[in-house]
Chains A and B, each alone.
Chain A
Amino acid sequence: MTESTPSEGDPAEGPEDATTANGPATRPSDLATPADGASTEAPSARRPAGRRGRVSSGFGRYVAKHVGGAAVSLLLVLFSSFFIFRLIAGDPIDQLTRERPVSPEERAAMRAELGLDEPMWRQFWDYITGTLTMDLGDSFQYRRPIFDLIVERLPATLLLSGTGMVLAVLLGFWIGARTGWRQGSRFDRGHVATGLVLYSAPTFWLGMIVILVFARYLGLFPVNGMRSPSTPPDFWSQAVDIGHHLVLPVLTYTAVVYAGYLMIMRSSILDELGGDYLTTARAKGLRDDEVRRRHAVPNALLPTVTLVFLALGSVVNGSIITETVFSWPGLGRLFVQSIFYPDRPVLQALFVLFSSSTILAVLCAEILYWFIDPRMRRSG
C-alpha cells in the first residue's frame, strides 16, 4: 500500500489539485466520501476497493494542500527578504565608501555597477527571477557570485550542525524517553536539571568555557578553525584533522540544544503514559521496558517528527553563534560577516536559503505523517 500510493496518487491527482490549491475541491466522483462514511460503520465487503481508492485520491489532495501551503510561505519569504534588508540597511554606497571621500561621479559609477540605479520594480524583478534561477547576484564585500560563496561554505556548516543536531536529537530522545517513563525519579530530576542548565547557558559563554578548559588548559583540542595549515593534504590526515577541530564546536552545540529534544520527548512520553493501551500491553505479559520500547516510544515519537524535520531544516542555518565563537568557516559566519559589512545581497540570499530549508523540511514532515500516522489517512 505504502509503495503503490505515491506512484498512483501523485501524477494522477497532484497537478490537478495543485491548481485549485487550498480551495474546497468539489468532485462528486471522488471515492473518498462514500468510503469514509462506510468505514465508521463497518469495514464492509467493499473495503479493499474503497480503501485503495481513498488512499490514492486522499493522498493527492493531502500533498497538494501542503505543497500549496509551502509555496505560499516561500513566496512570502522571497518578497519580505527583498524589502526587509532594504528597510534596515540604509544606502549601501554610504557604507561601502565610509573610509574614504568619494566624488558624486564615483558614487554614481558604483551605483550603476551594483545595479542600484535601476528603478525599484526592476530591481525587484531581477531579484525574483534571479533567485528562482539560482542566480543570486554578487556579494558587495567579496565581489563574487553569492552562489559560489554559499556552495563553498555549506559543507562546513552541514558538518558542524549536522553532526551536532544528530547527536542532540539522539541524545535528547534517548534520555527523554527514559526520564519521562520514570517521572519523578532521581534519574529524571538529575537529567532534567542538567539539561535545562545547559539549555539556558548562553552559547558564546559555554563555548568560551569549553575553549578555556579543553583547548587552553588541557590542550586536548585546537582553539578554533576547521583545519590546521600544517596538515598533509592526503584524505585521511585531513579527515582526522577536521574531526579533531570538530569536537569542541559540536560539543558546545549539542550541549546547548539537546535539552530541548529531551523535554519534548519527555512530555510526549508523559502524554502516552496515561494510555490504556500501555496497561493492556502490560496485562498481556509485556515487561515494563518492552512496553516502553514497543508501544510508548513509537507513539511518543509521532508528535516529534515535525520537530526532527525542523531540526534538519535548521541544520542549514547552522549555529551562527557557535560558528562565530569557534571561527568555523560556515554559512553562519558568512552571515555575521555580512551583517557587519553590511553585504545586503548576501544577507538577502542567506535569509531566503535559511527560511526555505525550514519550510521544505516541514513540508517533508507533513508528507511523512501520511505514512506513519494511520489516522491522517482518514482526516487528510
Chain B
Amino acid sequence: MSSVEGAKVLRARGLRVEFGLPGGRVARAVDGVDLDVAPGEIVALAGESGCGKTTLARTLMGLERPSGGTVSFGDVPLRFSSRALKAYRRQVQLVLQDPTGALNPRHTVYEAVAEGLRIHGIGEDEPGRVAEALARAGLRPPERFFLAYPHELSGGQRQRVVIAGALVLEPSILVADEPVASLDASVRGEILSLLLRLKEDAGLGALVITHDLGLAWSIADRIAIMYLGRIVEQGPVERVLTAPRHPYTRALVSVLPDSPVREPIVLAGELPDAAEVPAGCRFRPRCQEVASGRAAAVLDRCEGEDPARLGPESAHLVACHLDAAMPARMAG
C-alpha cells in the first residue's frame, strides 16, 4: 500500500518555503520536507497551528512557490507555467477547512461542481458527471441538490459539495486541509468515512492535514508530525501513535485519552517564530527531555547540530539526537 513506486505519487523533496517579512527577516514556514503521498493511502500531517502545515499544503498544490526543493507528481517535477499547473491540478485536488468560504456563495451546487469540468474542457455528459460526483460524495439523490445555493445547505452538505467538486475531475490525490475542523462532531465522522470509502473504492490518495491526532488515528495509514516547518517523526500511524519516539510527538500523544505515555506532558512556551528557528535541534528550547536533564548526554549535539532531515521512506523515522543515541530506551 505504501509503495513509493508508481506513476501517480505526489512527492515533495527538500521542500522549503520562505516568506520575506518587514525588516528583512525571513520566515521559514516550510523548512526541508520530504513527503510522499501515493494513490490508495491516506497520509496525515499533524502539528500545532502555525507549524507550516497549511503552507505545505498550498505549496504541494502549486499555490505557493517553493524557495527550494521540488514538488513532483508521477516523477515529473511541477512547473509553474499556467498550462503545467492546470494539467497538474486535474490530478491533485484541494479540499479546504471551511466549506462556507470555499464555495462561491452565488454559484449553485451544480455550477460549483461543474466548474472543474468546464475549466478542463470536459464537455461530454456534464450533468451525468456532476451527478456522479455528488453521489460519490454522499449527496443523494444528486439532482435534488443541483439548484441549491450553499447557504441552503448544512455544513456537512457543503463540505460534501466541496469534495464532490474535487472528485468530479477524478483526481489521484486529494490534499485536504483540516477537512472536518469546522464541522459538528456528528458530521465529522460521516466526512471521514467518506474519505476512507473513497480510498478503498476508488484508490484515491489523500494528504489529510489536521491538528487532531485522534482523527489521524481513525483514518490515516501513515502519519507525519510537523514541528516548525520540519517533519520530526513519521511512520505507520499505529506505530507512531502507540510508540511515539520524538519528545514532541510524545507530548502530543500524552494528552490523548488512553495514551501510551503515562504522564501528561505540557510543553513549555509557545511555538517559536518561524523567522527565528532555534539553532541546533529546533525543538530543544521546549523539549521536556532537555528540561529534565535526561538528554544531558547528547545536549551538545541538541544545541549545535540540526537533526538530519527525515527521508521519505514509510518506515518509522525520528529526527531526535536522543532517540538516535538511545533507541532502546525510547522504544521500550
Scoring B residues 23 to 43 as 1 if CB is less than 8 Å from chain A, else 0, what string do you get? 000000000000000000000
Q: Is B217 an interface residue (CB 8 A)?
A: no
Q: Is B262 an interface residue (CB 8 A)?
A: no
Chain B residues with CB under 8 Å of A40's CB are 152, 154
5 more A-B contacts (CB under 8 A) besides A41-B154, A373-B106? A45-B144, A275-B101, A279-B96, A284-B115, A287-B86
What are 22 A-B contacts with C-beta separation under 8 Å? A41-B154, A42-B154, A42-B157, A43-B145, A43-B153, A276-B96, A279-B63, A280-B162, A281-B115, A282-B63, A283-B63, A283-B93, A283-B94, A284-B115, A284-B119, A284-B169, A285-B85, A285-B90, A286-B115, A372-B106, A373-B106, A375-B151
Q: Using a CB-CB cutoff of 8 Å, which residues 68-110 of chain B contact chain A?
A: 82, 85-86, 89-90, 93-94, 96-98, 101-106
Chain A residues with CB under 8 Å of B105's CB are 277, 299, 374-375
B139 to chain A, nearest CB (A): 10
Q: How many residues of A contact B (CB 8 A)?
A: 29
Bound together, the chains give a CA A373 to CA B150 distance in angstroms of 12
Q: Is A39 an interface residue (CB 8 A)?
A: yes
- Given that A43-B148, A43-B153, A283-B61 are contacting pairs, would A299 and B89 also be in contact in the complex, using a CB cutoff of 8 Å? no
Q: Using a CB-CB cutoff of 8 Å, which residues 39-66 of chain A contact chain B?
A: 39-43, 45, 47
Chain A residues with CB under 8 Å of B144's CB are 43, 45, 47
Contact A280 B96 (CB under 8 A): yes
Contact A299 B61 (CB under 8 A): no
A58 to chain B, nearest CB (A): 13
Look across to chain A and name the residue whose beta carbon is closest to the beta carbon of B97: A276
Bound together, the chains give a CA A39 to CA B145 distance in angstroms of 11
Contact A298 B106 (CB under 8 A): yes
Chain B residues with CB under 8 Å of A189's CB are none
- Given that A43-B145, A285-B85, A285-B89 are contacting pairs, would A299 and B116 also be in contact in the complex, using a CB cutoff of 8 Å? no
Q: Is A295 an interface residue (CB 8 A)?
A: yes
Scoring B residues 110 to 145 as 1 if CB is less than 8 Å from chain A, else 0, what string do you get? 000001100110000000000000000000000011
Q: Is A144 an interface residue (CB 8 A)?
A: no
Contact B103 A277 (CB under 8 A): yes
Question: Which residues in A have some Cβ–Cβ distance to B below 8 Å?
Answer: 39-43, 45, 47, 275-277, 279-288, 295, 298-299, 302, 372-375, 378
Q: Which of A275, A284, A302 has the most CB of B within 10 A?
A: A284
Look across to chain A and name the residue whose beta carbon is closest to the beta carbon of B157: A42
Look across to chain B and name the residue whose beta carbon is closest to the beta carbon of A377: B149
Chain A residues with CB under 8 Å of B94's CB are 279-280, 283
Residue in A280, A287, A302, A378 whose beta carbon sits within 8 Å of that of B103 in the complex:
A280
Bound together, the chains give a CA A106 to CA B169 distance in angstroms of 89
Chain B residues with CB under 8 Å of A279's CB are 58, 63, 94, 96, 102
B131 to chain A, nearest CB (A): 15
Bound together, the chains give a CA A275 to CA B106 distance in angstroms of 13
Bound together, the chains give a CA A282 to CA B63 distance in angstroms of 8
Chain B residues with CB under 8 Å of A280's CB are 94, 96, 102-103, 162, 165
Contact B151 A378 (CB under 8 A): yes
Look across to chain A and name the residue whose beta carbon is closest to the beta carbon of B116: A284
Bound together, the chains give a CA A275 to CA B104 distance in angstroms of 9
Bound together, the chains give a CA A284 to CA B105 distance in angstroms of 17
Chain A residues with CB under 8 Å of B166's CB are 284
Chain A residues with CB under 8 Å of B169's CB are 284
Contact B106 A374 (CB under 8 A): yes
Chain A residues with CB under 8 Å of B119's CB are 284-286
Chain B residues with CB under 8 Å of A282's CB are 63
Chain A residues with CB under 8 Å of B97's CB are 276
Contact B89 A284 (CB under 8 A): yes
Residue in B58, B93, B145 whose beta carbon sits within 8 Å of that of A284 in the complex:
B93
- Given that A283-B63, A285-B119 are contacting pairs, would A378 and B102 also be in contact in the complex, using a CB cutoff of 8 Å? no
Q: Which of B145, B151, B169 has the most CB of A within 10 A?
A: B151
Contact B101 A285 (CB under 8 A): no
Contact A276 B101 (CB under 8 A): yes
Contact A277 B104 (CB under 8 A): yes
Residue in B96, B103, B116, B157 whose beta carbon sits within 8 Å of that of A285 in the complex:
B116
Q: Using a CB-CB cutoff of 8 Å, which residues 144-179 of chain B contact chain A?
A: 144-145, 148-149, 151-154, 157, 162, 165-166, 169
Contact A276 B149 (CB under 8 A): no
Chain A residues with CB under 8 Å of B154's CB are 40-42
Contact A43 B152 (CB under 8 A): yes
Chain B residues with CB under 8 Å of A285's CB are 85-86, 89-90, 116, 119-120
A253 to chain B, nearest CB (A): 33
B177 to chain A, nearest CB (A): 9
Bound together, the chains give a CA A298 to CA B105 distance in angstroms of 11
A380 to chain B, nearest CB (A): 12
Chain B residues with CB under 8 Å of A39's CB are 152
B230 to chain A, nearest CB (A): 25
B143 to chain A, nearest CB (A): 11
Question: Which are the 6 A-B pairs with shortest beta-carbon distances?
Answer: A276-B101, A283-B94, A285-B89, A285-B86, A276-B102, A374-B149
A110 to chain B, nearest CB (A): 62
A53 to chain B, nearest CB (A): 15
Contact B152 A277 (CB under 8 A): no
Contact B89 A277 (CB under 8 A): no
Bound together, the chains give a CA A51 to CA B94 distance in angstroms of 32
Bound together, the chains give a CA A299 to CA B101 distance in angstroms of 13
Contact B102 A277 (CB under 8 A): yes
Chain A residues with CB under 8 Å of B145's CB are 43
